[in-house]
Each structure stands twice: as structure tokens, then as C-alpha cells.
Amino acid sequence: MHIPKNIKALLTLFVLLSQPAFAQIKNDKAYKVEFNINSFSYSEVMPVIETFAGVIPVARIGRETSFSSKPEQGRQAITHNRANIRVSWDHWFIQLASRYDYDIQFTPDAAQLFFLERNQRPVNKDKYLLKFSANHVKANGFGLGYQWQFKQLDMNVVANYWHVQNMQNGDINGIFHVEDDGEHFEVTGDIDYKYFQDALLDRNNCSQSDPPVPGCHGAWKQDGDGYSIDMQLAYQINKNWRFEASVWDLFNQFTYKQLGITQGQLDTQNEVFNPDGSFSIKPSFKGQFSDGKYKQSIPTQTNLRLSADYAIPVWAELYTVEDSYFPSLGVGGDYFNTRFELGYQAKSNALIVRAKHAYFNVSVASETINFQQAGTIIIDFSLNYAW
């Protein structure tokens, strides 16, 4: 979900103006240690469990799609994962954190073509429109945060520094075309691709030498840094109603000084179909390797929750990222000093099971109990101890 700049500015102004009021709160000098995991993964074309194997599958996504019964419907695959260990004292807290994010957008034609190639099946039409974009960051870092309590409002803001371990960002716009003789095909189009490791053309990263080493086409650096601002708030509207909001990557940017960059045209010509009609795409390229500086950002993720505590507790949530919206509804009950909740997420068809206790919070959601085949996996887990 894209948050307009004016909304971001208002939120920031609210935090800054609120600080003097919050600072008047009596401090109980409590200490707390927390461990948190937040993971949201959703895919329309391949099991999400297949996407954690390492480099984002820009060119190799076809190898991941064989589990999809209707790959032609796929348009998106996203995952946002955070883990942190947090230590709090008074109003302040510090944390060690790790993250793994990607957002892949693609046309149904691209998903279908990769599916056919992976399963060695013949094409069923003469032209496929290929549009593919990927945005991926894997990073470790630390954060410094501040938390307030004022009447019915609890709020915290954390600023994170990240050291990037892996990244990819790029777009492909092209056409897969079967030639008139029916025996040959071509893949043409534009490519704008940035990376630590080239998963599309398998470009080698080598140190410069004289004479040059055969097969080496660059000497970029696998190094980058970034920052992000996250915010959480909870407002007790009255005795029965409560509103909560979590916003990750409200502001964020990752900077690279010498990144691998490929820009130009795909130019795969006169490739031959196999006798059984199957095919293998071996992309050719003409253009330039414009390695250099680059700035990257990750889409803002938001989770909104409204709950009502009556005879049967009820709740509703809305998770958003870019233009994707995942609404949920559920009910709850209190047993053994623990709030148990059961819910349903509409877009993903995921069943949500949650247990909330003073010292822990566990939530798992998926549309199937077979995680190897799941198109959606949502996990929230936290432990805390205060003294």
C-alpha cells in the first residue's frame, strides 16, 4: 500500500508534537526482554515455502510453479518477514533485527509460460505478453525505539539501521513469440535489473584484471545499507472497543554505491522447440552493464485491527501492502488466562488460529495444513519477560 507523502508527514508531526505530553507520564522503570517473529507470505502461483531457498527466483520462478493447478491466474507473490530481540528500559528500547522481503508482480501470461517450460509442455498460443517485476531485500540490523503511554493510548516508534545481505530489483517487459514455421520461437523485450547476484543472465562478478578474465563482465560490490521507520499504536476507545495499528517501513530506503546493473533488451532469436513441443528459454541480451549507485525502497505494510469485548469477543483486521488488501474476521474466548481467537482471511482463504497471553502471543494462518503446498503462511510469535 502506498501512503501519500502528506499522510506520512502528518503521522511524523503527530509523533513529534505528542512527545512532550507523553513525557509527563510517570515512569515505573520496568525492564523487559522480548523475542518477536512476524511473517506474512502470500503467493498466487507457487507454494510460499519454496521462496525461502535463497536468491529471489527472477529467472527461475518457472522451476517453482509445478505445484500450481491454475498458474495462469497468478499475478503476485509477496512475503515480509521480521525477527527481533528487544530490550526495553523506561521509555526506551533497543533491538537486534533481521528481515527478508520480496514483492513479485507478473502477468498471467508470464506465469503460464514459466509453468509450461518447467513442466516440459508445449505452448498453446503464438504470443505471450511477459511483464515481470521483482523487489527483494534481505538484511540484518539494529533499532532504537521510544514508547509512550498516555491515558487510553499506547504507542511506540522505532528507527532501524540495516546492512543488506542480498537484494534484487528489476523489471522485464517483453514478448514470447512463436515464428510462422511453428518450429522456432523468440523472446524480445526490455530489461532493467539490479542485483547482488545475477539470477537472470548469470553474469559473473570478477575483480578487474589485465588481461581480463574470460567470462567476467563486471566488478560490482555486494554491499548496501539502509534505514526504516516502524510504528505501532493501540487505543482503548471505551470499555469494550479497542483499535490497534502496526505500520512497517513507514519510511525506508536502501542505498548502494556500486551495484550490479543490467539495462538493455532481451534478444533471444531462432530458438528451436523440442520434438515433443516443449522448450527451454535461454535468454540472450544486448545493452549495457551500467554498474553504479542505486536507491531502493520496500512497500509500506500496514495491519489495522478493531476488536470488541462482549459476551463473545469479536474482531476484524485489515493487512495491506501496496495495492493488495487482506481483510479478516474472527471471534474469541478466554480460557486459562489466555485469549484464544479463531478467524478467516478473505482474499487468501486462510484460517487463523491465535493464542494471546500476558507472556506470549502465537498466531498461525494458512489455507491448508500442508505447508509444503500452501499459498499463504502467516506466523506471529512473541515471548516477553518483564521485571
Grid cell listed for 50: 519454496
Grid cell listed for 154: 499506547
Phi, psi angle pair for 7, to nearest 5° = -70, -45
- pLDDT value at 137 more than 60: yes
Grid cell listed for 271: 530458438
Q: What is the mean pLDDT of residues 186-211?
A: 83
Q: What is the DSSP string of 8-32?
A: HHHHHHHHHHHHHHHHTSPP---EE
Grid cell listed for 221: 560490490
User: CA 79 to CA 326: how far, in whole Å?
Assistant: 13
359 touches 384 (CB < 8 A):
yes
The kind and range of the H/E element at 108 are: helix 108-118
Confidence (pLDDT) at 324: 92
pLDDT digits (tens, 9 = 90+) for 60-101: 443 333 334 444 445 788 999 999 999 999 899 999 999 999
Cis bond upstream, residue 20 (ω within 30): no
Q: What is the mean pLDDT of residues 334-355?
A: 96
Confidence (pLDDT) at 48: 63
* Placement of cell 502470500 in the chain: 42
Confidence (pLDDT) at 107: 80
Other CB atoms within 10 Å distance of the CB of residue 330: 19
Domain boundaries, the chain: 5-386
Grid cell listed for 231: 510504528
User: CA 94 to CA 182: how far, in whole Å?
Assistant: 62
Residues in the chain: 387
